[in-house]
């Protein structure tokens, strides 16, 4: 035999072996459809994944299709047809049933080749991966997240009921004391002690609400119930209530709104966003005055909350809207890092956005933008 020919043959054999090894270890097969002759070729690895012998297969696409899960077959055919009529990459995850009682997940990825200077596809080829293990892990993770969320929900509701009773009782005690024993109420220990206890209860109650909302968001259950209202009026009411808390921390809140800002939003949820921003402005605002403004342009309403506190560095700014992210981890000031995550999700559900401008040691300005329509 010609030594050159034998050398080429040896190299070909070696690369086929390397390819076989790569396909096997990557749990991957290859497929190649000739669209002119309608014939299909598959690697032996793909047939192994499908649980089909070379004899059974015998170049028939129907043999492979017969193993596709009936609920995924239409989806698969639609995706293939769409790919054949475009030059997009075809990528699809679907289930196959290689033998009775066995189900596998596969991910197929491929692309068409076109005749020169023609829009007609002549070949459609690609690879298929066995992703059963990955899917099993994903499903186990999903189930774990679901049961965690259910636990949060049940524990949250169980905690909320006695907490609400406790809050009401405290309010009654405070009222009675104020009316009947004003002298006792005025004493530092009793009056301000009661106020402190109510603040702590409010804080616990907000943490529970935030955890419940977080699980609603991760399950896609956060519902928005819209109604027409004046954002300016709502903000003014929230700030009046909030001033009591702010003043007890010695913080002045300035509010500016000169016009009606009417829109169809979820008032309960927008109030929650404003409260989250105000609480942060107190927490991180170094006790300096907080400025709130409601305004609008032709398309959007704007709710601005500005403080003159510790600020957030430009590197940290993108992550403060993520779940459980806190820039400073001192538990003394930070919460559990859910307020901005929830606010961001609420605003997104209104097709709006929150912008953040901030400089370390100079303060932060959050602008909530809500479409008027
Ligand atoms: P938290 O409950 O920890 O305050 P948030 O989601 O409301 O959670 O905020 C996330 C983090 O962003 C905070 O822990 C804090 O580090 C930072 N942050 C939020 N608001 C401000 C602000 N006004 N000034 C400085 N840092 C802030």
Closest approach atom of ligand 1 to CA 327 = 16
CA of 293 to the centre of ligand 1 (A): 20
User: What is the maximal distance between C-alpha atoms in the chain?
Assistant: 115
Q: Is 340 in the pocket of ligand 1 (CB under 6 A)?
A: yes
353-359/290-296 β-pairing: unpaired
Q: Round to whole Å and give the CA distance between 243 and 81.
A: 63
For CA atoms 282, 284, 285, 287, give the dihedral sign: positive
Q: How far apart are CA 274 and CA 306, in angstroms?
A: 12
DSSP 318: G
- Relative to the CA of 366, which ligand 1 atom is closest? 23
- Residue 326 Cβ inside 6 Å of ligand 1? The answer reads yes
Instruction: Check if 310 has its Cβ closer than 6 Å to any atom of ligand 1.
Output: yes
Cα 163 to Cα 209: distance, rounded to the nearest angstrom: 12
Ligand 1 atom nearest 309 alpha carbon = 24
Of 213, 278, 280, the residue with max ligand 1 atoms within 8 A of its CB, to mutate for a pocket test, comes to: 280
Q: Is 309 in the pocket of ligand 1 (CB under 6 A)?
A: yes
Let me know: does 365 contact 357? Beta carbons within 8 Å. Answer: yes
Quote the DSSP letter at residue 270.
H
> Is residue 335 in contact with ligand 1, taking CB distance under 6 Å?
yes
pLDDT truncated to tens, each residue of the chain (373 aa)? 566 667 777 776 776 676 666 666 667 899 999 988 888 999 999 999 999 999 999 999 899 999 999 999 999 999 998 888 887 889 999 999 999 999 999 999 999 988 888 888 899 999 999 999 999 999 999 888 888 877 887 888 788 888 888 888 888 888 888 899 888 888 878 888 888 888 888 888 888 888 888 888 877 778 888 999 999 999 999 999 888 778 877 899 999 999 999 999 999 999 999 999 998 999 899 999 999 999 999 999 999 999 999 999 999 998 999 877 777 655 556 667 888 999 999 999 999 999 999 999 999 999 999 999 8
- What integer pLDDT is reported at residue 265 of this predicted model? 96
């Amino acid at each position: 035999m010609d030594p050159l020919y034998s050398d080429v043959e040896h190299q070909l054999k070696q690369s086929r072996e390397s390819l076989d090894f790569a396909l096997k270890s990557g749990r991957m097969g290859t497929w190649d459809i000739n669209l002119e002759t309608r014939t299909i070729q598959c690697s032996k690895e793909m047939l192994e994944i499908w649980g089909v012998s070379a004899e059974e297969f015998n170049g028939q696409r129907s043999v492979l299709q017969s193993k596709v899960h009936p609920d995924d077959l239409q989806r698969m055919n639609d995706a293939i047809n769409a790919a054949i009529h475009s030059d997009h990459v075809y990528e699809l995850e679907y289930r196959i049933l290689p033998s009775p009682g066995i189900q596998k997940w596969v991910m197929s990825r491929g692309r068409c080749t076109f005749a020169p200077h023609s829009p007609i596809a002549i070949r459609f080829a690609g690879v298929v991966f066995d992703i059963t293990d990955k899917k099993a892990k994903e499903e186990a993770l999903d189930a774990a997240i679901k049961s965690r969320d259910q636990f949060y929900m049940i524990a949250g509701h169980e905690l909320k009921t006695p907490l609400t009773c406790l809050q009401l009782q405290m309010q009654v005690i405070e009222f009675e004391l104020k009316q009947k024993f004003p002298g006792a109420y005025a004493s530092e220990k009793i009056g301000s002690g009661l106020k402190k206890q109510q603040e702590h209860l409010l804080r616990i109650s907000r943490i529970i609400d935030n955890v419940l909302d977080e699980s609603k968001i991760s399950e896609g259950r956060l519902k928005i119930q819209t109604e027409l209202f004046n954002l300016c009026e709502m903000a003014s009411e929230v700030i009046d209530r909030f001033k009591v808390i702010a003043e007890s921390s010695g913080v002045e809140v300035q509010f500016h709104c000169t016009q009606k800002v009417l829109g169809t939003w979820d008032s309960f949820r927008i109030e929650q966003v404003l409260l989250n921003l105000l609480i942060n402005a107190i927490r991180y605002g170094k006790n300096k005055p907080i400025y709130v403004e409601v305004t609008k342009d032709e398309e959007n309403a704007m709710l601005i909350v500005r403080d003159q506190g510790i600020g957030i560095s430009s590197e940290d700014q993108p992550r403060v809207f993520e779940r459980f992210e806190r820039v400073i981890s001192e538990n003394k000031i930070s919460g559990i890092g859910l307020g901005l995550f929830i606010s961001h999700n609420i605003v997104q559900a209104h097709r709006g956005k929150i912008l953040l401008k901030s400089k370390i040691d100079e303060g932060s300005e959050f602008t909530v933008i809500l479409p008027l329509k």
